[in-house]
Structure 1
């Protein structure tokens, strides 16, 4: 994999909470346009890995490179000013979609989408409005532009959250269990939008339990357990030719 095509690179990543090792020597590369789905049992380190990629959690040690921004974390050494600036630039090039939506309850769907454009990118309200409406149309919610989150279903809230992330023109989108809080019908609404993003070539790292999505959309499936990457395989190998008894046991429960 040539360096020029790599959007995300993680090497020797480690993270502990008190004495609990959550990530242990994690190594991973994701190319431009790839969809990588991370699977594993609860407590395997999936979400901590995802949150470490944009420093919502600061790892204890290791190297993270996202969108040409590299941060080397060394145990016991504080991040430098240059590192913090790199993290800011990294976050400007990525988007995060959370399990719990994280919408502003006092803002409409359109205002949630345009907030970052106006406050961070400093675009005019008129330009932000047009961009926001286009994105709401893209996720099938242009008719909900004036609705507040309390009036939206869970699936609609998550689609607004995705539109909000897209508003910043990210190079990579991280999804943390984006459908786990939704019932089956609403999950399909969100997964359809994610499938469309994958078809359009968006680089995506998705922590999920949606095995069908992983089978049909992922370029690679990463399986984690005990803070370690146990498998990093194509969906064909992972689902159809996997020789690991542990992974077979995991798949049998879904």
Structure 2
């Protein structure tokens, strides 16, 4: 599914909103095919880090590399023309799945999935629809192809959103708390799709509070607090051997 060279690298990343520093000298390496789960309390910088990786948030300083595309950020300096081109290329290698689905309400499930193929990739609609139906089948929703978002459950909407991301053939998928807006009984259907993607070798960076998913699927668990990476360990080490009281307090809450 992924190319052999699609890695993610973050070096000395920093980000502030007004006078509040949200990310402080964050460093992270993600290998091709790895599943990284990012945990941490609210306000720890998890989502800001994720959004910075594809420049939905503009970092203040540091360096980001995704699939060979490198952007070095200098505080107070606008991105150069070359940087903007690299950001565009970087985004073409990635997909983002949001907490709130972000589906177009006036489009059917199939139309949502193929919108990028038709409007961005300029693929003929008939050909795009074939791809879209295959992806809806992959996430277990082919029978909902002609349904509008208002007629879908939260779990179904999120699975459509995942199919939409997959339609663009990303090499890395970022998940921003994909199950937090769902009732407990709907979470598993989304997590099953994510497990299948992980098993197929998709590189994934997942912000979540789903500890079972982190234990069973993640290759590494990152714990953030106060804008810094406090722990970066394999699940068996993170859940069994770390004595950090802040991490233990977090785990007890979930």
Band of TM-score, shorter chain: over 0.9
Q: Which residue of 2 aligns with 1:81?
A: 81
Task: Please say if residues 6 and 171 of structure 2, whose CA atoms lie closer than 8 Å, have aligned partners that are also in contact.
Answer: no
Flag structure 1 segments of 5+ consecutive residues without an equivalent.
Answer: none
Aligned residues: 251
SS at match of 2:126: helix
Tell me, yes or no, if structure 1 residue 26 matches structure 2 residue 10. no
SS at match of 2:205: strand
* Aligned mates of 2:251, 2:99 — CA distance in 1: 22
Tell me, yes or no, if structure 1 residue 155 matches structure 2 residue 155. yes
Q: Which residue of 2 aligns with 1:185?
A: 185
Task: Please say if residues 5 and 67 of structure 2, whose CA atoms lie closer than 8 Å, have aligned partners that are also in contact.
Answer: no
SS at match of 2:7: strand
Deviation at 1:205, TM superposition (A): 0.1
Deviation at 1:67, TM superposition (A): 1.1
SS at match of 2:239: helix
* Aligned mates of 1:223, 1:165 — CA distance in 2: 26
Deviation at 1:192, TM superposition (A): 0.3
Task: Please say if residues 221 and 234 of structure 2, whose CA atoms lie closer than 8 Å, have aligned partners that are also in contact.
Answer: yes
The alignment's TM-score, normalised by the length of structure 2, stands at 0.98
SS at match of 2:223: strand
Q: Which residue of 1 aligns with 2:71?
A: 71
SS at match of 2:55: coil
Tell me, yes or no, if structure 1 residue 101 matches structure 2 residue 70. no
Alignment of 1:138-177 (within 5 A): 138-177=138-177
Flag structure 2 segments of 5+ consecutive residues without an equivalent.
Answer: none
Task: Please say if residues 14 and 22 of structure 1, whose CA atoms lie closer than 8 Å, have aligned partners that are also in contact.
Answer: yes
Deviation at 1:126, TM superposition (A): 1.2
Task: Please say if residues 5 and 68 of structure 2, whose CA atoms lie closer than 8 Å, have aligned partners that are also in contact.
Answer: no
The alignment's TM-score, normalised by the length of structure 1, stands at 0.98
